[in-house]
Amino acid sequence: MDAPIGKLDVVVFDCAEPPVVARFYQAIVGGELKGPDPEDDWTELHTARGKLAFQKAPNHVPPVWPDGDQQMQAHVDIDVPDLDVAEAAVMELGAVKHEVQPYPSSFRVFLDPAGHPFCLVREKE
């Protein structure tokens, strides 16, 4: 393969309240918030391993996973050393555990405050 066309900058989530969803992920993975901008339209979360951004979408409709009219287009996997401990922590932050759990001993599916699916994944030993 030739040189890449570009480089990854950020993964962006649409949501109704960018600062709220950004703080949710900050509590899980750490990092520093940049923003929100004056209109609360854009907030970034910068971590040592990359960044996420949250963009205001006033008519945001949460995706439906695993099936549905509004399918999941992207999701975040978060490595954790202990699934049970991490599950309790994200639930305390306001995550909702999804009813579908295909491999709960390996990963667990949750919804963030804006309804985006994300997974806690047991770190590989």
Per-residue buried b or exposed e for 36-61, using 16+ beta carbons within 10 Å of the residue's own CB: beeeeebbbbbeeeebbbbebeeebe
Taking each helix axis as running N to C, give the angle between helix 83-93 and helix 18-29, from 0 to 180 degrees, rounded to the nearest 10.
150
> Of 35-39, 40-44, 71-75, where does mean pLDDT reach its minimum?
71-75
Please state the rounded mean pLDDT for residues 5-32.
89
- pTM as predicted: 0.77
CATH number at 84 reads 3.10.180.10
Residue 97 domain flag: yes
* Residue 2 resides in a domain: no
Domain that holds residue 56: 11-122
Q: Report the domain count for the chain.
A: 1
Q: Is residue 5 in a domain?
A: no
